[in-house]
Amino acid sequence: MYSNTLTSQFNFRTSDNTFDTLLEIATNRYADLCINDIYILLSECIKDCAKKTKIIDMVSAQKLKKHHNTLQAIIPQYHTSKCVDDCAYCGFRKSNPNVLRTELNDEDFERELKLILDWGYSVIEFVYSTDTNFPAKRIAKRITKAKQMGKSIGKELEIGINAPALSLDDYKILNDAGLDFVLLWMETYSDNYKKWHQNNTPKSDFNYRINTFDRSIQAGIKKYAFAILFGLSDWVEDVSRLIAHGLYIRKTYDIEPYIIGNPRLKRAMGLSVENSKYIIDDENYIFVNYLFKLIFPETKLFINTREEIDINLELIKGGGDFFTIDCGTFPGVYLNSELVKDGQEQFHTSYYNREKTIALLQEKGYKVIF
């Protein structure tokens, strides 16, 4: 029902608008910004550093005025490394014979969650691979349990799930359990999606995946998070299509993205990805994140530990974003760091020492809310 309407937003068309006109349109929530406008705006800025700087400075000033350098801490909790998908860039891919396959059982889930709460967190991302042992009803029980554990210590938790694309009925189950937001990284909007997701696995069905937020919103979950994985395809086209996707949801449901993620392709067990011809350089990567903020000013970036701290400091000017400090991409890693001593994690991440990172952020003028 939604596929034709949505994918029609991804067809590049001609546009005669100048850069200044496009910039004005981009800052107007009710303007008719088309994908070709976005593409031209991107292309103009790539060629002209002064135009990038203009957007970055403008957005940073707006964020500072609204958020006063305040950041919200967020932490992922992985529940399984078992997966029936075979995404070529992921350490958990089905065809990887070397990764440890395990799941966080109910007892360890509660033990690890208690530890996360003791650290002070109140926004938690539950992360699931495509594991048939975790249907919606089981995930719902964990959401309910987490909310109960939070309330028992006077904390109102905000729970999101980063999980496979689910059905409308599944999202209704999760909504009833109190799920706050749905995260789903689109990876790439190009035909390269087929190359990276082969073998007729659940995730290989892009049409089903792209309509996920239509289903979750109709189920009552009004907050959504999406992203591309920089490095899988031409990033200028992917960024344009990601923004067009968000504009479609704005126009259809009057809902802004809650979070936009910004992961870049990183090495994973048995994979060398550094030579991808689609890797985005640091300067354009930083700029694109401010373009997201320009067009979706109410949206938070999901600052992640795939990046070194110096890059992330460039992304958060003015505040208003989610910031990841503690990050383990394997089930139970916060309980036992030895689980990932042999590179078992889903992908490579940088280690941020909690105390030193918070001190550094404070030194830079930021306030981190847990």
Residues 6+ apart with CB under 8 A from 82: 92, 101, 102, 103, 129, 131, 133
pLDDT at 274 (0 to 100): 57
**d(C-alpha 65, C-alpha 316), whole Å:** 13
For the cut 70, the answer to whether the pLDDT of residue 124 exceeds it is yes
For the cut 80, the answer to whether the pLDDT of residue 18 exceeds it is no
Residues 6+ apart with CB under 8 A from 105: none
**d(C-alpha 150, C-alpha 274), whole Å:** 41
**DSSP output for 231-298:** TSS-HHHHHHHHHHHHHHHHHHH----SEEE--B----TT---TT-TTPPPHHHHHHHHHHHHHH-TT
**d(C-alpha 238, C-alpha 231), whole Å:** 10
Residues above pLDDT 90, as percent of the chain:
71
**d(C-alpha 351, C-alpha 327), whole Å:** 8
For the cut 50, the answer to whether the pLDDT of residue 1 exceeds it is no
Q: Which residues pair with 128 in a beta bridge?
A: none
**DSSP output for 330-357:** STTTTT-GGGGTTS-SSS------HHHH
Q: What is the rounded average pLDDT of the residues 106-122? A: 97
What are 243's two structure tokens? 């923004």
What is the residue type of 91? Answer: G
Render pLDDT for 164-187 as a digit per residue (tens, 0 to 9).
999 999 999 999 999 999 999 999
Q: Using CA of residue 56, residue 261, residue 244, residue 230, what is the dihedral sign? A: positive
Q: What is the pTM of this model?
A: 0.91
Residue 339 phi/psi, 5-degree rounding, is -60, -25
**CA dist list (Å): 282 to 47, 261, 288, 315, 333:** 15, 16, 10, 11, 29
What are 14's two structure tokens? 């001609």
Can you count the helices (H) and strands (E) in the chain? 14, 9
Asked which of 120-124, 191-195, 342-346 is least confident by mean pLDDT, the reply is 342-346
Render pLDDT for 356-365 as a digit per residue (tens, 0 to 9).
999 999 999 9
Using alpha carbons only, give the angle 77, 83, 87 rounded to the nearest 5 degrees. 100
